[in-house]
Structure 1
Amino acid sequence: MRRLKALLIKEFLQMRRDRLTLIMMLGLPVIQLVLFGFAINTDVKHLPTIVFDQSLQQDSRDLLSSLEASGYFDIKYLAKSYQEVNSAVDAGKAKVGIIIPPDFSENLKHGRQAAVQVIVDATDSMAASSAISAAQLIGQLKSQDILLQQIRGYSGHPTEKPYDIRIRPWYNPDFISAFYMVPGIMGVMLTMTMVMITSMAIVRERERGTLEQLIVTPMKNWELMLGKIIPYSLVGYVQVTVALLAGVLIFDLPIRGSLALLYALTALFILASLALGLLISTVTKNQMQAMQLSFFVFLPSVLLSGFMFPREAMPMVFNLLGNLLPLTFYLQILRGIILKGVGLSVLWPQIVALVIFIIITLTISIKKFQKKVA
């Protein structure tokens, strides 16, 4: 009994000294509860929407007001051409595009069906399903209102269905879940391996006592960092290649964009993930801490990046937190190139974000490493 008591006291004292591990053990459940409780929402609302209203009549304004009042559509852009709608949806600025023809009001007044085209970005099947269901339901309700007025003899001629909501799901019209998940799994897989493996690189050298040998060699700090990064970069490229081959051969994944561009931008994400892993390795004391802190970063990356749950459904604060994660931008690059076939003219904001993340993270890592060496 005395030995057990002594062992318990020893373990509690060790946990008290190892404050970082204790903070992560206590903080991780809280973060999980907060993320799952507030950030994760499968009812996707407030989808950014672009409208090309060629009618500009009261009837079209009433329809747009009804769509926006539903809470599912946030009309953020007013287009002046079809090309503006296409560009906004391609770039991901708008998840929904609504096109109202010039004869919309005229058709309603003369008892003809009034068509409305609703373009939906179906790369995210959950958000697309919410948009489609809401648009169709609002079209049905508006049609019922007109039919009731006609039955009561107020106006117009009997029409079977006044509002004809024509849904156009783009990029993944059959809503094949593999097309959405495979690119996401590629990004998550790289995050998990690159961050976790690299985070233990310098810590492992320190625990083995070989870090001092590396320090006394005629090697600069940034050279040491690159020496730790380059081998894992090659591993990352092998993982991406295997995942792409599996996606194409097993799931018939379409690659509509440039494969060379995909590999070039993958280098940025691999470097960003490795830089984050190096930063973790410079602030931790042992491999256990490095692994725990890596998981501490990995969980928000999966939940807040848009891998599983649409970012449009998240509260603003969690949406902003997602912008601090490199996986958020890499998923947009992956799905943009693979499913949409877009290029640099669309993906440049994501590229700039990854470059800024790399510069900041590597700078902090090198400075932290210099302090530890000193």
Structure 2
Amino acid sequence: MNPTILAVTTGRILRQLRHDRRTIALLVAVPALLLTLIYFMYVDQPTRPGQPAVFDRVALIMLGLFPFVIMFLVTSIAMLRERTTGTLERLMTTPLGKLDLLFGYGLAFGLAAAVQASVAAAVAYWVFDLETAGSTALVILIAVVDAVLGVALGLLASAFARTEFQAVQFMPVVVIPQLLLCGLFVARDQMAGWLQAVSDAMPLSYAVEALQEVGAHADPTATMWRDLAVVAGAAVLALVLAAATLRRRTG
């Protein structure tokens, strides 16, 4: 990768994003609205003595899941549009490399995710009184890394799609199994052995575990840092694989 080209590419993507008001609304407003919905779903739920409130447990995990899901959807469609409009083909005639393009997407949407996570965390902590043992900064950090993972997987999935509808169809294949097996609905150690093995192979499981560590411990734990490294490594691997499978055209 060329640092100068990478910086220019990141700037181009950020400028495009700035002029797309609908995408900005999706990135910033939707997580806050969904957290509001979750709050009113769980606000009156009883809490067992010594256990965190149901909203605290669920909202903490959602702060990491929302960026992952939204970034997967946005970037898979955005990259497909780059190909179908001929933009990608024109870019590839310049010194721009595939890694410059894909890591530029990762950096640009990672910055957007930092804004998204900060707004969502502000709503959760200051409006709805979310309580966690660990710091808000760690929650935001994990959410941003989750978002970059969503970007990377979205870019990888877009390489196998010919239309925007096909890009969206990858969500049940890539996203939903991770949501079901990440430990949100059933603790991973309570799953059947083969399901736990599948869960262990999915990076989102480690993101959820990292958030749970922040929720339960005042100081960063070794498990949290390990899990965060796994998620970041999976994101980098997905970006490299996306570069290897990137095609200029849909057909």
Query: In the alignment, which residue of structure 2 is the partner of 1:351?
Result: 228
Instruction: Determine the C-alpha separation between the residues in 2 that align with 1:216 and 1:344.
Output: 47
Q: Distance in 2 between matches of 1:240 and 1:338?
A: 16
Match of 1:205 among 57, 60, 82: 82
Which residue in the other structure is 2:42 paired with? none
Report the Cα distance in structure 2 between the residues aligned to 1:344 and 1:310, rounded to whole angstroms. Answer: 19
Q: Return the match for 1:264 from 116, 141, 158.
A: 141
Q: For residues 161-196 of structure 1, give each alpha carbon's deviation from its aligned partner in whole angstroms, at most 9, with x where no partner exists.
A: xxxxxxxx7xxx244100111012112211210111
Query: What is the distance in 2 between the residues matched to 1:227 and 1:211?
Result: 13
Segments of 4+ in structure 1 off by > 4 A? 370-373
Length, aligned pairs only: 205
1:235 Cα shift?
2.6
Sort the Cα spacing of 1:278 and 1:208 in 2 relative to 1 into closer, same or farther, 3 A.
Answer: same
The Cα of 1:277 is off from its aligned counterpart by 0.9
- Partners of 2:134 and 2:216 within 8 A in 1: yes
CA deviation profile, 1:341-368 (whole Å, cap 9, x unmatched): 2414332321232233123212211111
Alpha-carbon separation, structure 1, partners of 2:180 and 2:199: 9
Q: 1:237–1:251: structure 2 CA closer, same or farther, 3 Å change rule? A: same
SS of match in other structure, 2:175 = helix
Distance 1:370 1:209 in 2: 11
Q: In the alignment, which residue of structure 1 is the partner of 2:197?
A: 320
Q: Give the partner amino acid of 1:198.
A: T
Q: Give the helix-richer structure, 1 or 2.
A: 2
Provide Cα deviations, 1:203-227, integer angstroms capped at 9, x if missing partner: 1111222221111122111111123
Q: Is the 8 A contact 2:134 2:214 kept in 1?
A: yes
Structure 2: which 5+ residue stretches go unaligned? 1-46
Q: For residues 299 and 342 of structure 1, do their structure 2 counterparts lie closer, same or farther at Cα, with a shift above 3 Å needed?
A: same
Counterpart residue identity of residue 182, structure 1: A
CA distance in 2, matches of 1:356, 1:230: 15
Query: Which of residues 83, 97, 114 in structure 2 aligns to 1:220?
Result: 97
- Contact 1:236–1:270 (Cα < 8 Å) also in 2: yes
* Deviation readout 1:218-240 (Å, 9 max, x if unpaired): 21111111232233222322221
Aligned match of 1:38: none
Equivalent residue runs for 1:1-374 within 5 Å: 173-369=50-246
Instruction: Return 5+ residue gaps in structure 1 as ranges.
Output: 1-127, 130-168
Larger Rg: 1
For residues 95 and 238 of structure 2, the distance between their equivalents in structure 1, rounded to whole angstroms, comes to: 24
Could you report, residue by residue, the CA deviation over 1:242-290 in whole angstroms, capped at 9, with x for unpaired residues? Answer: 2212222343212322333343344432222211111101122221111
Higher strand share goes to which structure? 1
Q: 1:275 to 1:367 in 2, by over 3 A?
A: same
- Alignment match, 1:16: none
- Relative to structure 1, the CA distance from residue 270 to residue 367 in structure 2 (aligned partners, 3 Å threshold; closer, same or farther) is same
2 CA distance for matches of 1:204 and 1:320?
36
- Give the whole-Å Cα distance in 2 for the aligned partners of 1:315 and 1:274: 30
- Secondary structure of the residue aligned to 1:200 is helix
Given the two structures, how large is their TM-score scaled by the length of structure 2? 0.72
SS at match of 1:283: coil
Q: What are the superposed Cα offsets for residues 68-96 of structure 1, whole Å, 9 maximum, x if unpaired?
A: xxxxxxxxxxxxxxxxxxxxxxxxxxxxx
CA contact (8 A) 1:330 1:350 kept: yes
